[in-house]
Amino acid sequence: MNIVLLGAGAMGSLFGARLAQAGHAVTLVDIARAHLDAIAAHGLRLDSDAGSAQVPGLAVFEPKDWVGRVQAPGGRAPELLIVFTKTLHTEAALRGVAGAIGPQTQVLSLQNGLGNVEKLAAVVDPARILVGVTTWPADLIGPGHVASHGAGSIRLMQADGRRSAALEQAASALQSAGLNCEIDERVWHAVWEKVAFNAALNTLCTVTGCTVDQLALAEDGPELALEIVQEVVAVARASGFDVAPGPVCDKVLHAIAAHAGHHPSMAQDMQAGRPTEIDSINGAVVARAEALGVAVPATRTLMRLVRLMQARAALPAPG
């Protein structure tokens, strides 16, 4: 398949590498020039439990150059475009490449948070949007170098709920790359479960500076995390998804017990002075809760604290 990764940071690089290794024609489109240059020069280095591999053959472009290439004689739009920017950049990124999205292009979001389909639908025909959730982890180590340890999976569906040949083709490409992909009509349940998990752990670690395991240093840490999970699950249920709190609470407690030394991505973004995904995680839950009349005091408080920290981090450096 002819596949484009729009946003080739940690996740886009991992997926791009795996898909290229499986023989697909992969293009990485990103705005991070140093990363693209390193891949063009040496291939993409992927560290995994299987060892370290240098993956050759990935085409790399900045958005406007890629659009030019597709629109030039002989160019062709991809069959699958996977969006892996941070959620706050989705719409701008997609608008930047809208001229290279053809009538046959399926557009897939496996990003975290709520509202991803709505953002894609502002630019592409909703009938061509795929949505899913992935548990694969990835970290960008440096330009041209990504690491992913442990196993993961992907669950996806067509956003309009239909089953099409294009959906099957996208799922089978991801499966062929060893990414454990299955089509699942209960994707929205999985999305809400992951939002509940992230709304609790990402924000608590961001605000306190704790690693995930350090949340166990006081009883308040796990208790507050579980309170947030219960609130988010209540909003999911009021939205019509019969998400059970028990399994998410178990995952949160397991992460606190097992993820020693881990700083979630939101905490890493805050630390690096980058904007976080707070608006598509806690922010989106709070907005939905308000519309449905569900009380989410802990989720809201954490959202406000992260937004405040983010605003402070954006201040110009003194002097």
Residue whose beta carbon is closest to ligand NAD: 9
Q: Restricting to residues 249-268, name those near ligand NAD by CB under 6 A.
A: 265
User: Cα torsion for 125, 128, 129, 135, to the nearest 10°?
Assistant: -160
8-state DSSP, 312: H
Across the chain, the runs of DSSP E, i.e. the strands, are 2-6, 25-29, 44-48, 51-55, 59-61, 80-83, 106-109, 129-134, 139-142, 145-147, 154-158, 181-183
User: CB–CB of 10/146 below 8 Å?
Assistant: yes
Q: Is 36 in the site for ligand NAD (CB under 6 A)?
A: no
Q: Which of 295, 269, 255 is nearest to 86 (CA)?
A: 269
Known catalytic residue: 251?
Answer: no
Instruction: Compose the 112-151 pattern: x for residues touching ligand NAD by CB under 6 A, - for all others.
Output: x---------------------x--xx-x-----------
Distance between CA atoms of 200 and 229, rounded to whole angstroms?
6
Judged by beta carbon, residue 92 or residue 217, the one nearer ligand NAD is 92
Q: Is 86 in the site for ligand NAD (CB under 6 A)?
A: yes
- Among 30-38, 46-54, 178-186, 228-236, the segment contacting ligand NAD (CB under 6 A): 30-38
Judged by beta carbon, residue 5 or residue 294, the one nearer ligand NAD is 5
Q: Is 63 in the site for ligand NAD (CB under 6 A)?
A: yes
Q: Site for ligand NAD (CB under 6 A): which residue of 23, 54, 75, 92? A: 92
Distance between CA atoms of 172 and 183, rounded to whole angstroms?
9
Q: How far is the CB of 9 from ligand NAD (least distance, A)?
A: 2
User: What distances in angstroms separate CA 242 from CA 47, 102, 283, one per listed residue?
Assistant: 38, 36, 21
Question: Which residues in this chain contact ligand NAD in the complex, by CB under 6 A?
Answer: 6-12, 29-32, 63, 84-87, 89, 92-93, 96, 111-112, 134, 137-138, 140, 265, 277
Catalytic positions: 194
